[in-house]
Structure 1
Amino acid sequence: MHYKAIKVEITQPIPYTNQNFYEIVWAARLEVFRQALEGGAKTPFDIMACLVNLEQQFTFGVEKLPSPTGDGTLYLNGVVRLVPNPDSNQQSLSAPSYSFNQILAAVVQHCDDGVKAIVELGAGYGRNLMELRHHLRRPDLALIGAEYTQSGRDAMEFFNASFPDLTPIQTVFTDHRLASFPFISSKDKVLVFSCHSLEQVEKLPLDFFVNLADSSEDITGVHIEPFGFQAVPRSAWSDVHHAHNAFIRLKDYNLNMWACLEHAVREQAITITGVALNASFAQPENPSSVVVWKKRTA
C-alpha cells in the first residue's frame, strides 16, 4: 500500500474537536483496512499488521483549515496526510500478525466465567475487543463496541462482515457526555472498560459512574485512562504530575474523571477495588492509570 494522503468524504469542513478528529482518522484507517483485505489479508490481525507497518513509517496528520471568519476556529477538510517518520527503518518493518496488548491484562483479570458481556466505552475501530476475543476464546461472550464516531462503528462492521465466522462485535452509539447506557443488559454480569477514551471529554457528567453502575445488577468497571494527576493532592505533585496536567489542558482532555469516581463512591453506587497510578508510560507525556470498581450492593 502506497499513500501520500487519504481523502475522507465529508460534505463540508467540520470544526476541529477531539471527537471530529477521530471521526476522520478512523475513516482513514478504514480505507487502509479495505486495501489490506483486497491485498490478500486472511485474518483481522493480518489487516492490523498492515496498519502497524504503515504507522511505523508514517504519522497520520489531519489537514486543518482556518475559519473563514477569522475567529481562530480550526476546521477539518477530510484530508489525512501521511507524514514520513524519520526514525523508521523500512528495511526492518515487520509487524507480528498478533501481539496481545499487555495493558488489556487488567481487563482479562476481571473477566471470570460468570461474565456474559464485555462492553468497551469508546471502542474506536474495535482493536481492543478483537484482541480480547482472540485472547479469551469465549464464543458465548457478548462483545459490545460502544463508539461515538460513525467511522469507528463502520470499521467494526467492516470486520464483522469480512470475518463472519468470528463472534461479531455488536456496535452501538455512545456519547460520554450523556452518561446514558441503554445498550448494557440489566440482568447479565457485565464487564465494562475504557482505554484512553474518557480522556476525550474535558468534563464528564458528575453522575457518569453512578449511572454506569446503575445500568446492570452485576457490573465491574476497568478504566485505563490518564487520570493519575487528578488523584493526587496538588500540594504533592511531582514534575511528572505538573507536566501531565499541562499536557491534558493543552489537548482539552479530561479533568474530572477522578472526581466523578469519588462522587459515585459517596453516593454508594460503587466500591473502588483497585487503583494503579501512572502504571504505563507508553505515552510518556500522557501516562495511563488504572482504576477498577464494582457496583455496590446492599
Structure 2
Amino acid sequence: MLLTHLWKQSDFGLVINWKFHQKRKWVSALTGYMVDAIITAFDPIIITSQFDYQLHKRKLRYILSFYPGWSAPLIRFDPKIDCVKALCYSDPHYQPEERRAYFDRNGFDFLFCVYHSPFFYHFKNFPIEKFVHFPWALPDRFISDHAIEHRSNDVVIFGGKQSKAYDIRNWCRQQPGIRNFDYSGVENKQLTDEEYFLWLRTFDAIVAAGSSDPKYNLVTPKYFEIASAGALLIGQYCPDLDMLGFDNTNALIFTKDSFNDIISTYKKEPEKYISLREKGRLLIKERHKISDRIASIKRALYGN
C-alpha cells in the first residue's frame, strides 16, 4: 500500500507493482514513461494489492491494470461493483490461455495491447469490440527536432541476442555492410534513456528486426525509436506495419530475401533517403506520441 493514497479521493484506479515501476524494471523504457503519463493524466489511486482494491473499490469507476502477475498483482475483482475495467498486455505469446482466463474471469471490458496481429494469432476468437490496439509511443522530449542530413552510409544494428524471437536480427548482424553494437536495454544496458536517444541521433540508418517465427511478428519499440531519432528505419516486415503507418515512403521495409539488396542500394546513394527519414520522424510526431495513447485510454474508458 502507498500510505499517501490511503485517503486519496479518485474514481480511477491503476493496478501496478509500484516498486517494479519505481525501479524501472520494464523491458522497454517506454513503458515507464507511459505509466508516468497515465498518473499525470488520471491522478489514480495506486492499487498494489488485493487489500488496496478492497479498501478503495467502492469509489472506483475506472480501473486500468498493467501486466498481471508480472508488473501488477493478480486482483480478484468484485463483480458487484459497477466499474469499467481495462487490462494492458505486452507480449501476447506469453501464457495466452492463462491471460485469457484471467480477463474473462474478472469481467474486463477492454484489453489494451501493443501488438495487433500477434495478439489475434494467440488470442483467437477474442471479441474485437473489447480489443484496443495500443502501440508503443514516445515521450515528446525524446523525439528529435534537428535538421536531418546525410553524414555517412553506415547501417547499424543493435539489441538483444538471447531469445528465439531474435533469429532474423542475429542473421542481419552477420550480413556484409552492417555495423553491429552489442547494446541492449535488457541484456547489456550501457546508456541512460537520455543518452540512448541522443546516441540514436548520431546514425543515418538503423536496422530493426526480430524473428522469422509467425508467433512473434512484433513491431518492437526500436521501430518507433529509430524513426523518432531522424534515422532511416530499415525494418523487417510485420503485418502491423501498415496500420501503424510505416511503409516504403517513410522507411525501408525488408524481408530476409530482400535485405541485402536493400542495404546495397541504400549504401550507394544514402543522401537520396533524407525525405524518408523526415517522413518517418513526422509519423511519430503525428501518431505515436504518449499523448496519443492517453487519448486512446480516454476514448475507450470514457467513451469520448
| TM-score, L = length of structure 2 | 0.28
Structure ranking higher in strand proportion: 1
| TM-score, L = length of structure 1 | 0.29
